[in-house]
Structure 1
């Protein structure tokens, strides 16, 4: 199973489209908030099952603030992260995930990519496709692949300068 994980698109979809074209095929997509009213458009672009949660900029959204999902036998908590104060640190969100018996916690909000394994929980933040805040400021995302044995592999990926300026057809 191949899963595309993105966050913080903020109404700017050029990089998201480039990422989707580059990473197809994928079996599932996860968007960790701040779609800003474009969740139906993103679902149409994905063309596969989409899990999406509300971010702090998803005003008037009916999206859930978090979801517990199962991916290839792994339990994951997906949330935007602002309710867990992820900008100040990850202890609250990791504690919540451990307390719920999750294998993975996925969040956005900080616009900074992260893959961190800690006490049996994998914390994933794909960064932002539109307003990256890490060194280099390249749009980022994560591809999660689960093999036939149920073993996950997480790849943090970036668009190059050339790719991020490319306009989709």
Structure 2
């Protein structure tokens, strides 16, 4: 199972289309908020899409968090602003424990992160549009034989 993770696209549908085309064999696309409507501009016939609202998605219908089970792994998908992730992962870790998540995919900081802590993978794909670290990025998760691998892809 190959999962493309994006967040904080902020209206740049052309860049999102480019990123989707650059990753072969996508089974699922996750968008962790801030302009979730951007995914409507891409062809979704080849994969499933899950998306959650971010702080810049005011007035948009949708969920603020989603728990998705794939190949016996629970993924918590959220933007992160409601857990104050700019100040650390503590509040987000409480939510991850509550839903028994194996993986947490989030955004908001515009900084990519792949961190295993206490058996949970915290995965922030960064931003394809306005990165606040060294470069624009997305993330790829692969779930195979009960194991999860996360890769941050610089663009």
Q: TM-score under structure 2 normalisation?
A: 0.93
Deviations 1:44-75 (A, max 9, x none): 35741000000100011111000111122100
Larger radius of gyration: 1
> How far did 1:145 drift?
1.0
Structure 1: 5+ residue stretches without partners: 160-169
Aligned residue number for residue 164 of structure 1? none
Compare the two structures and name the one with the higher strand fraction: 2
Structure 2: 5+ residue stretches without partners: none
> How far did 1:36 drift?
5.4
SS at 1:123's partner residue? Answer: strand
- Corresponding pairs, count: 155
Aligned-CA RMSD value = 1.5
My pick for the range that moved more, 45-54 or 116-125, is: 45-54
The 5-angstrom pairing of residues 1-169 of structure 1 reads 1-35=1-35, 37-42=37-42, 44=43, 47-134=46-133, 136=134, 138-147=135-144, 149-159=145-155
The alpha-carbon distance between structure 1 residues 29 and 13, as it changes in their structure 2 partners (threshold 3 A), is: same
> How far did 1:5 drift?
0.4
